[in-house]
């Protein structure tokens, strides 16, 4: 993270970028939430709704996110 970008700003930017895939997740009753971004820029997400128990979340991570 740069000195001028706070963690909260970075999370907001990633969250906004996820808006592109949210309609596809919502079509199946799911969603995704940014939980944290680590100091080494690893984005941690939480699957919501039907995505919580879906066996395709790994594929969604590779292809969609």
Backbone φ and ψ for 19, nearest 5 degrees, come out as: -60, -25
DSSP letters along 5-63, please?
S-HHHHHHHHHHHGGGTHHHHHHTTEEEEEEEE-TT--EEEEEEEGGGG-TTHHHHHHH
Mean pLDDT, range 7-29, rounded to an integer: 92
Flag whether the pTM goes above 0.95. no
Better-scored residue on pLDDT, 33 or 60 = 33
């Amino acid at each position: 993270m740069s000195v001028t970008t706070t963690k909260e700003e970075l999370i907001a930017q990633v969250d906004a970028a996820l808006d592109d895939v949210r309609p596809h997740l919502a079509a199946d009753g799911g969603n995704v939430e940014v939980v944290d971004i680590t100091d080494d820029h690893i984005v941690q997400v939480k699957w919501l709704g039907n995505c919580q128990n879906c066996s395709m979340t790994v594929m969604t991570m590779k292809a969609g996110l």
